[in-house]
A and B are shown apart, each in its own frame.
Chain A
């Protein structure tokens, strides 16, 4: 069975540009979360979606947005890119939200902003 898949795996953008990252959860999983991992730090929570509704938002500026589609796949959008947005962006899926739901991470999308 396929795990969490993310695309693209690597990309380079220029300051001020916009980026869209995509995620397909494990089949049957209805919850998708996004995390940002800056080099040398642990992942930091950005968004959680469940059944196409936003269920949680981390401490990130409004330049960051996301959505979940009817097939439970998700997109993370970042506008007006800054150098500090360079990071590994991780998508995670789980069957549902709440305690007891194991969370599985995709391999991530490496974003470099120059």
Chain B
């Protein structure tokens, strides 16, 4: 079983659509959770951290369920500029060192 698994893509949606990405992780000791966005041939950039209470940033809402080891990202009112690959990322132990474990990514294509 892969450490971080995401929905296979790509997702093709029209502008204005709502799209949801799902992710599961295998290490129950994971302490931090993120969604990163990666544009074609660019570096990953932090989109948002994910907290157990859920958090929202404009059109983006992230949820974490530690019991199910499940993370989600909801994008409302999709824009053309949202087209990118979305990476589910889990952070390592809280002490000593921390590393990020990335999922394979799910590509989103928003069309006019």
Contacts and interface: CB of A to CB of B under 8 A. Distances in A.
Q: Do A and B bind each other?
A: yes
Contacts, number: 62
Contact of A44 (B92, B96, B102): B102
Interface residues of A, number: 28
Contacts of A43: 44, 87, 100, 102
Given A107-B42, A107-B43, A99 B99 contact: no
B47 interface: no
A55 B95 CA distance: 11
A74 to B, nearest CB: 15
User: Chain B's interface: helix, strand, loop or mixed, by majority?
Assistant: loop
State the 4 A-B residue pairs at the shortest beta-carbon distance, nearest first. Answer: A42-B102, A55-B97, A105-B43, A56-B97
Interface string A25-58: 0000000010100001111110010100001101
Contacts of A56: 92, 97-99
Taking residues whose C-beta sits less than 8 angstroms from the other chain, chain B's interface range is 20 to 34
A97 interface: yes
Contacts of B105: 41-42
Given A97-B96, A98-B95, A99-B94, A105 B44 contact: yes
B98 A101 contact: yes
Given A42-B105, A90-B43, A90-B44, A103 B94 contact: no
Nearest to B103: A42
A99 B96 contact: no
Chain B CB within 10 Å — which of A35, A48, A103 has the most? A103
Given A99-B91, A106-B43, A107-B43, A45 B97 contact: no
B43 A48 contact: no
B3 to A, nearest CB: 10
B76 interface: no
Contacts of A40: 104
